[in-house]
Amino acid sequence: MNNKDGQTDDYRSFLLLDEISKNEELTQRALSKKLGLALGLINSYIKNLASKGYITVSAIPKNRYKYYLTPHGFAEKTRLTYQHLQNFTTLYRVARRDFHTLFGDVALSNIKTVAFCGVDEVTEIAYLSLKEAGLELAGIVDDGGGLGRRFFGLDILPLKDAGKIQCDLIIITSFNSGERLRQGLIAAGVRKGKICGINTEGWLKRIDGGGVNHDQS
Protein backbone atom coordinates (compact mmCIF):
# COMPACT_ATOMS: atom_id res chain seq x y z
CA MET A 1 0.00 0.00 0.00
CA ASN A 2 1.45 3.40 -0.93
CA ASN A 3 1.54 6.37 1.45
CA LYS A 4 -1.43 8.11 -0.17
CA ASP A 5 -3.65 5.03 0.16
CA GLY A 6 -2.53 4.61 3.78
CA GLN A 7 -3.43 8.21 4.59
CA THR A 8 -6.85 7.78 2.98
CA ASP A 9 -7.54 4.58 4.95
CA ASP A 10 -6.43 6.18 8.22
CA TYR A 11 -8.59 9.24 7.60
CA ARG A 12 -11.69 7.18 6.81
CA SER A 13 -11.07 4.97 9.85
CA PHE A 14 -10.77 8.11 11.97
CA LEU A 15 -14.10 9.45 10.64
CA LEU A 16 -15.86 6.14 11.31
CA LEU A 17 -14.47 5.79 14.83
CA ASP A 18 -15.41 9.39 15.56
CA GLU A 19 -19.01 8.91 14.39
CA ILE A 20 -19.39 5.63 16.26
CA SER A 21 -18.05 7.23 19.45
CA LYS A 22 -20.83 9.85 19.24
CA ASN A 23 -23.76 7.60 18.28
CA GLU A 24 -23.54 3.81 18.48
CA GLU A 25 -26.99 3.35 16.87
CA LEU A 26 -25.97 4.62 13.43
CA THR A 27 -26.70 2.16 10.63
CA GLN A 28 -24.19 1.49 7.87
CA ARG A 29 -26.52 3.26 5.46
CA ALA A 30 -26.61 6.32 7.74
CA LEU A 31 -22.81 6.27 8.01
CA SER A 32 -22.57 6.02 4.23
CA LYS A 33 -24.75 9.10 3.77
CA LYS A 34 -23.09 11.07 6.57
CA LEU A 35 -19.52 10.44 5.43
CA GLY A 36 -20.14 10.44 1.69
CA LEU A 37 -18.71 6.93 1.22
CA ALA A 38 -20.22 4.02 -0.71
CA LEU A 39 -22.17 1.54 1.39
CA GLY A 40 -19.82 -1.26 0.34
CA LEU A 41 -16.82 0.74 1.56
CA ILE A 42 -18.51 1.39 4.91
CA ASN A 43 -19.17 -2.33 5.29
CA SER A 44 -15.54 -3.14 4.47
CA TYR A 45 -14.17 -0.60 6.95
CA ILE A 46 -16.56 -1.77 9.69
CA LYS A 47 -15.40 -5.35 9.23
CA ASN A 48 -11.76 -4.24 9.28
CA LEU A 49 -12.19 -2.16 12.45
CA ALA A 50 -14.01 -5.04 14.15
CA SER A 51 -11.30 -7.55 13.15
CA LYS A 52 -8.68 -5.27 14.73
CA GLY A 53 -10.65 -5.10 17.96
CA TYR A 54 -11.45 -1.39 17.68
CA ILE A 55 -15.23 -1.85 17.70
CA THR A 56 -17.75 -4.47 18.72
CA VAL A 57 -21.01 -5.14 16.91
CA SER A 58 -24.25 -6.01 18.68
CA ALA A 59 -27.45 -7.12 16.92
CA ILE A 60 -30.71 -5.39 17.85
CA PRO A 61 -34.27 -6.04 16.58
CA LYS A 62 -35.28 -5.61 12.92
CA ASN A 63 -31.91 -6.77 11.54
CA ARG A 64 -30.11 -3.68 12.81
CA TYR A 65 -26.79 -3.36 14.61
CA LYS A 66 -25.16 -1.22 17.25
CA TYR A 67 -21.48 -0.37 17.15
CA TYR A 68 -19.38 0.27 20.23
CA LEU A 69 -15.80 1.48 20.58
CA THR A 70 -13.61 -0.83 22.65
CA PRO A 71 -10.87 0.57 24.95
CA HIS A 72 -8.47 -0.34 22.14
CA GLY A 73 -10.72 1.57 19.74
CA PHE A 74 -10.71 4.69 21.91
CA ALA A 75 -6.90 4.56 22.00
CA GLU A 76 -6.78 4.21 18.21
CA LYS A 77 -9.21 7.12 17.78
CA THR A 78 -6.95 9.29 19.95
CA ARG A 79 -3.91 8.32 17.87
CA LEU A 80 -5.69 9.03 14.58
CA THR A 81 -7.02 12.34 15.90
CA TYR A 82 -3.49 13.50 16.66
CA GLN A 83 -2.28 12.25 13.25
CA HIS A 84 -5.15 14.01 11.47
CA LEU A 85 -4.33 17.30 13.19
CA GLN A 86 -0.70 16.98 12.09
CA ASN A 87 -1.77 16.21 8.51
CA PHE A 88 -4.23 19.12 8.47
CA THR A 89 -1.51 21.51 9.63
CA THR A 90 0.66 20.37 6.73
CA LEU A 91 -2.29 20.50 4.34
CA TYR A 92 -3.12 24.05 5.44
CA ARG A 93 0.44 25.22 4.86
CA VAL A 94 0.66 23.64 1.39
CA ALA A 95 -2.82 24.79 0.32
CA ARG A 96 -2.25 28.32 1.62
CA ARG A 97 0.97 28.66 -0.34
CA ASP A 98 -0.40 27.19 -3.55
CA PHE A 99 -3.70 29.07 -3.58
CA HIS A 100 -1.82 32.32 -2.84
CA THR A 101 0.33 31.68 -5.91
CA LEU A 102 -2.61 30.62 -8.07
CA PHE A 103 -4.85 33.58 -7.26
CA GLY A 104 -1.92 35.97 -7.64
CA ASP A 105 -1.42 34.65 -11.18
CA VAL A 106 -5.17 34.84 -11.86
CA ALA A 107 -5.36 38.48 -10.74
CA LEU A 108 -2.45 39.39 -13.03
CA SER A 109 -4.42 37.87 -15.93
CA ASN A 110 -7.13 40.54 -15.49
CA ILE A 111 -9.65 37.95 -14.34
CA LYS A 112 -12.12 39.50 -11.89
CA THR A 113 -14.73 36.86 -11.02
CA VAL A 114 -14.27 33.18 -10.24
CA ALA A 115 -16.45 30.31 -9.02
CA PHE A 116 -15.42 27.48 -6.72
CA CYS A 117 -16.08 23.81 -7.40
CA GLY A 118 -15.89 21.44 -4.43
CA VAL A 119 -16.40 21.97 -0.71
CA ASP A 120 -14.03 20.43 1.83
CA GLU A 121 -11.13 21.29 4.17
CA VAL A 122 -9.30 23.58 1.74
CA THR A 123 -12.25 25.62 0.40
CA GLU A 124 -12.10 28.25 3.14
CA ILE A 125 -8.33 28.50 2.61
CA ALA A 126 -9.02 29.15 -1.08
CA TYR A 127 -11.56 31.85 -0.18
CA LEU A 128 -9.05 33.64 2.04
CA SER A 129 -6.47 33.68 -0.77
CA LEU A 130 -9.14 34.80 -3.25
CA LYS A 131 -10.08 37.86 -1.17
CA GLU A 132 -6.42 38.77 -0.63
CA ALA A 133 -5.97 38.85 -4.42
CA GLY A 134 -8.93 41.24 -4.78
CA LEU A 135 -11.07 38.76 -6.71
CA GLU A 136 -14.83 38.20 -6.46
CA LEU A 137 -16.48 34.85 -5.76
CA ALA A 138 -19.41 34.58 -8.17
CA GLY A 139 -20.72 31.19 -7.04
CA ILE A 140 -19.90 27.75 -5.71
CA VAL A 141 -20.92 24.25 -6.79
CA ASP A 142 -20.46 20.81 -5.26
CA ASP A 143 -21.53 17.23 -5.89
CA GLY A 144 -21.65 15.99 -2.32
CA GLY A 145 -22.10 17.01 1.31
CA GLY A 146 -21.99 20.75 0.65
CA LEU A 147 -25.32 20.85 -1.17
CA GLY A 148 -28.06 22.78 0.58
CA ARG A 149 -25.63 24.80 2.71
CA ARG A 150 -24.27 28.31 2.29
CA PHE A 151 -20.70 29.43 1.87
CA PHE A 152 -19.90 33.05 2.81
CA GLY A 153 -23.41 34.17 1.85
CA LEU A 154 -23.69 32.07 -1.32
CA ASP A 155 -25.90 29.02 -1.83
CA ILE A 156 -23.89 25.91 -2.73
CA LEU A 157 -25.39 24.74 -6.02
CA PRO A 158 -25.37 21.29 -7.67
CA LEU A 159 -22.42 20.60 -9.95
CA LYS A 160 -24.75 20.33 -12.95
CA ASP A 161 -25.59 24.05 -12.57
CA ALA A 162 -21.97 25.18 -12.96
CA GLY A 163 -22.55 26.44 -16.50
CA LYS A 164 -25.19 28.87 -15.23
CA ILE A 165 -22.75 30.84 -13.05
CA GLN A 166 -21.48 34.03 -14.68
CA CYS A 167 -17.73 34.02 -14.04
CA ASP A 168 -14.37 34.22 -15.82
CA LEU A 169 -12.88 31.07 -14.30
CA ILE A 170 -13.89 28.04 -12.20
CA ILE A 171 -11.39 26.90 -9.57
CA ILE A 172 -11.47 23.33 -8.29
CA THR A 173 -11.26 23.62 -4.49
CA SER A 174 -11.20 20.04 -3.26
CA PHE A 175 -8.26 18.16 -1.76
CA ASN A 176 -9.20 14.68 -2.97
CA SER A 177 -11.82 14.93 -5.73
CA GLY A 178 -10.16 17.12 -8.34
CA GLU A 179 -10.38 14.89 -11.39
CA ARG A 180 -13.96 13.76 -10.66
CA LEU A 181 -15.07 17.38 -10.27
CA ARG A 182 -13.22 18.40 -13.42
CA GLN A 183 -15.05 15.74 -15.44
CA GLY A 184 -18.33 16.82 -13.81
CA LEU A 185 -17.74 20.43 -14.88
CA ILE A 186 -17.04 19.37 -18.45
CA ALA A 187 -20.22 17.25 -18.42
CA ALA A 188 -22.11 20.34 -17.20
CA GLY A 189 -20.99 22.23 -20.30
CA VAL A 190 -18.04 24.19 -18.90
CA ARG A 191 -15.22 24.43 -21.45
CA LYS A 192 -11.87 22.98 -20.40
CA GLY A 193 -10.03 26.29 -20.70
CA LYS A 194 -12.29 27.81 -18.05
CA ILE A 195 -11.37 25.19 -15.43
CA CYS A 196 -8.37 25.62 -13.18
CA GLY A 197 -7.04 23.57 -10.28
CA ILE A 198 -3.91 23.27 -8.19
CA ASN A 199 -3.62 19.54 -8.72
CA THR A 200 -6.35 17.33 -10.19
CA GLU A 201 -4.60 14.17 -8.94
CA GLY A 202 -5.66 14.86 -5.35
CA TRP A 203 -4.59 16.92 -2.39
CA LEU A 204 -3.49 13.95 -0.29
CA LYS A 205 -0.58 13.57 -2.72
CA ARG A 206 0.37 17.22 -2.14
CA ILE A 207 1.12 16.63 1.55
CA ASP A 208 4.28 14.74 0.60
CA GLY A 209 5.64 17.75 -1.30
CA GLY A 210 6.32 18.19 -4.98
CA GLY A 211 5.72 20.97 -7.45
CA VAL A 212 2.54 22.93 -8.05
CA ASN A 213 0.50 21.80 -11.03
CA HIS A 214 -1.78 24.55 -12.38
CA ASP A 215 -4.11 22.51 -14.56
CA GLN A 216 -5.56 24.91 -17.12
CA SER A 217 -5.74 22.64 -20.16
Domain of residue 10, CATH code: 1.10.10.10
Do 103 and 198 fall within a single domain?
A: yes
Do 110 and 197 fall within a single domain?
A: yes
**Full residue range of the structural domain in which residue 27 is found:** 3-69
Total structural domains in the chain? 2
Do 43 and 139 fall within a single domain?
A: no
Do 50 and 101 fall within a single domain?
A: no
Do 62 and 157 fall within a single domain?
A: no
Phi–psi pair at 154, nearest 5 degrees = -110, 140
Do 191 and 143 fall within a single domain?
A: yes
Task: Give the C-alpha distances (Å, rounded to integers) separating 11 from 87, 88, 185, 203.
Answer: 10, 11, 27, 13
pLDDT string in tens for the chain (217-residue length): 445 556 678 888 888 988 888 876 778 888 887 777 788 899 999 999 999 999 998 776 666 678 888 999 989 988 888 787 777 777 788 888 888 888 988 888 888 899 999 888 788 889 999 999 999 999 999 987 666 788 888 999 999 999 889 999 999 988 767 778 888 999 999 988 889 877 533 333 443 333 333 443 3
What helix, strand, coil percent values describe the chain, rounded to 5?
A: 50, 20, 30
Do 64 and 100 fall within a single domain?
A: no
